[in-house]
Amino acid sequence: MGKKKRHQVFVLKPWCWYCEREFEDDKVLLQHQKSKHFKCQLCPRKLNTAGGLMVHSQQVHKCDPEPLTNTLPGRDGFDVEIFGMEGVPSNAQAEWKARKEAEAGAAALVAASTGQRPRHSYTVIPEADLTIALAQHKALMATRNKPVKSISTPMTQPPMVTAPNGAPIPFPMALPGMPPPTLPVGMPGFPPPPGFIPPFPMVVPPYPGIPGAGPVPTPPGAGTGVSPIPGPLRFTIDQAGTGNFTPIPGHTQPYPQTITPMQPGAQTPMPAAASATPAPAPSIAVNEIPTIQPPKDGVMWPDATASPAEKRAQQSRYRYTSPTPDGGEAAMAGRKRKAAADFL
């Protein structure tokens, strides 16, 4: 960094001798000189040099020219012939260079003194910061997972929840028919590791720790409807997702009801789902996620075999199920149940 700066010290930008202004390149400098300093006062003509302006004045206007305009004091004469950077007196050039170097050097020094401190901090004591960052990240991930929550079927057991005999709880997918091991009621549940991604995020979310709710009893195999534990509690988030919890008796519940926390209001963190449909089915969910980025080749409908309407008709919310004319809410629920059942 400092090296680069020091290098830049020696790159002098073109500058105007008449007014000591710096320019990005020579072309701009020439334009500037023509319009600021070599402009004839008597006609719109602009000349290239001071000499040119003098000749122009004498020949066209038959008079001696006015002193040059917009210059620093003492630099308004016609004795020095300057064209861009050419013709600048060498002493003036040296003086300018020294001045710029001094300025740049000072600037580089300042930059170096301030710039080095953060560079050191890369290697120094990030530990405390790290723990804070980790905590923040955990909280973020927890809130992300929160709304896709249903206590119905724990897809994965929290890492430290084991049966009293030490055997890990069997994977709940294999649960039906298998007696789930008992669990001490009131044993604290543990949140899943941050960043945990449920294998089927939309329909059967994992058992996430409910942030801010404290320990929650974990009913293993609750989704099966067979609950060997006397009176374990289930919790659902209320519709607004405000974090108020309603205990639900842990006994047998029809399957669709266990999905109730997944109403649209609670779905917001999955942007695609929120935008797409109130009741997306997992198998079609991929189709319903709108392609946010325009395609690279600019073709907005790349499929040459099916029309947009045909693809759209395959989305779950448009799927036609029953011929009953009033198929609003009931059809929705039916579709949802079917989708979940298909998937299980």
Q: What residues line the site for another protein (CB under 8 A)?
A: 271, 274-275, 290-313, 318, 320, 322-327, 331
The distance from CA 152 to its chain's CA centroid, rounded to whole angstroms, is 33
Distance from C-alpha of 90 to C-alpha of 67, rounded to nearest angstrom: 23
Exposed e or buried b for every residue in 318-338, given b needs 16+ CB within 10 A?
eeeeeeeeeeeeebeeebbee
Nearest approach, Cβ of residue 343 and another protein (Å): 23
Counted residue by residue, the chain has a size of 344
Q: How far is the CB of 301 from another protein (least distance, A)?
A: 4
Residue (177 or 298) nearer to another protein, CB: 298
Least distance (Å) between residue 200 CB and another protein? 23
Q: Indicate left, alpha or beta for 266 from its phi (over 0: left) and psi (-120 to 50: alpha).
A: alpha
HEC states along 236-291? EECCCCCCCEEEEECCCCCHHHHHHHHCHHHCCCCHHHHHHCCCCCCCCHHHHCCC
For the bound state, the minimum distance from the C-beta of residue 139 to another protein, rounded and expressed in Å, comes to 25
- Min separation Cβ 67 and another protein, Å: 51
Q: Collect all residues with Cβ–Cβ distance below 8 Å to 58 and sequence separation of at least 6.
A: 64, 65
CB nearer to another protein: give 27 or 312. Answer: 312
Query: Residue 90, SS3?
Result: helix
Q: Report in angstroms how near the CB of residue 239 gets to another protein at its nearest.
A: 20
Find the shortest distance in angstroms from Cβ 304 to another protein: 5
Nearest to another protein of 105, 295 (CB atom): 295
Measured from the CB atom, is 231 or 271 closer to another protein?
271
165/291 with CB nearer another protein: 291
Q: Which is nearer to another protein, 230 or 290 (by Cβ)?
A: 290
Instruction: Name the minimum Å distance from CB 273 to another protein.
Output: 11
Q: CB-wise, 61 or 144, nearer to another protein?
A: 144
Nearer to another protein, 263 or 307 (CB): 307
Task: Report the C-alpha gap between 258 and 261 in whole angstroms.
Answer: 7
User: Judging by beta carbons within 10 Å of its beta carbon (0-12, 13-18, 19+), is residue 144 exposed, middle or buried?
Assistant: middle
Do 193 and 158 touch, CB atoms closer than 8 A? no
Q: Is 234 in a helix, a strand, or coil? A: strand
Which neighbouring-strand residues pair with 125? none
Least distance (Å) between residue 33 CB and another protein? 37
Q: How far apart are CA 164 and CA 274, in angstroms?
A: 41
Identity of the residue, 116 or 268, whose beta carbon is nearer to another protein in the bound complex:
268
Rounded to whole angstroms, how far apart are CA atoms 134 and 85?
58
SS3 state of residue 327 = coil
For 275, half-sphere exposure in the C-beta direction (CA atoms, 13 angstrom radius) is 10
